[in-house]
Amino acid sequence: MTRIGIIVGSTRPHRHAHDVAGWALQLASLRGDATYEIVDLRDHPLPLLDEPMPPSMGHYQHEHTRRWAATVAGFDGFVIVTPEYNHSVPAVLKNALDYLYAEWNHKAIGFISYGTHGGVRAVEHLRAIAGELMMADVRAQVVLPFATDFENHRIFTPREHASRVLGVMLDQVVAWSEALAPLRRRAEAERRARAAAPDA
C-alpha cells in the first residue's frame, strides 16, 4: 500500500507543528487509501549539512545521513507541516530537505501551513524547493491562520473547512504518489544497475 509520511517541520519547544501533524494523521488514518506515519524531525537530528559531496551524487559518508536517507526512501509521498519563520521555511526543515536528493525524487508532496498569515509564504518557498528535488507538489493546501484556527493564537482548534481541504489535499497526494510509482521503480532499477556494473 502507498506510504505517506507526515513531516513535522519544526523542532522548537512548545511548537504547534506536532499538534497539527497529529490532527492530520488522525483524519488520514480513517481513509483506508494509504498508510500514514509521522516523521518528526526531532527524531532525526541532523547537523547543518556536512556531507562533502553534493546530495545528488548519492555518496553519503555520515551515518546520520544514511539513517535519514533510509527513512525518506521508505515513503511514496509526503505531507509537510510547516510554520512560517521570517516569511520563509524553518531552518531545520530546509536542512533536512537539502541533505538528500534521489530519495525525494518522483514523489508527491502536499503542505499544511500555519502562522499569522497561515504560513503561505513558507509554502511558496517549499514549492520551489520541491521542484528542484523532482517532487510533484499538489495544488490543494491546508492554511491555518492563528486568528481562525488557534484559540487565543495558542491552542490548535481547526475549523471544519480545514478538515475538508485536508481531505482534498490527501486525495491529490495519494493519487499522484501512485501515478509516479513507475518513475520511482525505473529510477531504482537504474540505480541498482549502476551499483552492480564493474568499474570502468
Residue 191: which pLDDT band, with cuts at 50, 70 and 90? confident
The model's pLDDT over 26-47, given as tens digits with 9 standing for 90+, comes to 999 999 999 999 999 999 999 9
Specify the pLDDT at position 199.
63
pLDDT at residue 189, rounded to an integer? 93
* The pLDDT of residue 197 is above 70: yes
**pLDDT over 90 percentage in the chain:** 94
Phi, psi of 145 (to 5 degrees): -70, 145
pLDDT of residue 198 exceeding 80, the answer is: no
Angle at 32 between CA 122 and CA 97, to 5 degrees: 25
Predicted confidence at residue 180, as pLDDT, reads: 98
Q: pLDDT category, 192, cuts 50, 70, 90?
A: confident
Percent of the chain at pLDDT above 70?
Answer: 99
Residues 65, 44: Cα–Cα separation, whole Å: 9
**Nearest one of 179, 12, 188 to 93, comparing CA atoms:** 12
- Residue 200 confidence (pLDDT) above 60: no
pLDDT digits (tens, 9 = 90+) for 147-181: 999 999 899 999 999 999 999 999 999 999 999 99
Nearest to residue 10, comparing CAs of 107, 84, 98, 120? 84
Report the 10 Å Cβ neighbour count for 57: 11
Q: What is the CATH number of the domain that holds 69?
A: 3.40.50.360
Question: What digits encode the pLDDT tens for the residues 57-82?
Answer: 999 999 999 999 999 999 999 999 99
Is the pLDDT at 135 greater than 80? The verdict is yes
How many domains, in total, are found in the chain? 1
pLDDT band at 195 (very low <50, low <70, confident <90, very high): confident
Which residues on neighbouring strands pair with residue 39, listed in sequence order? Answer: 7
Quick one: pLDDT band at residue 194, thresholds 50, 70, 90?
confident
Kindly report the average pLDDT of the chain as a whole number.
96
The residue segments making up the domain with residue 10 are: 3-196
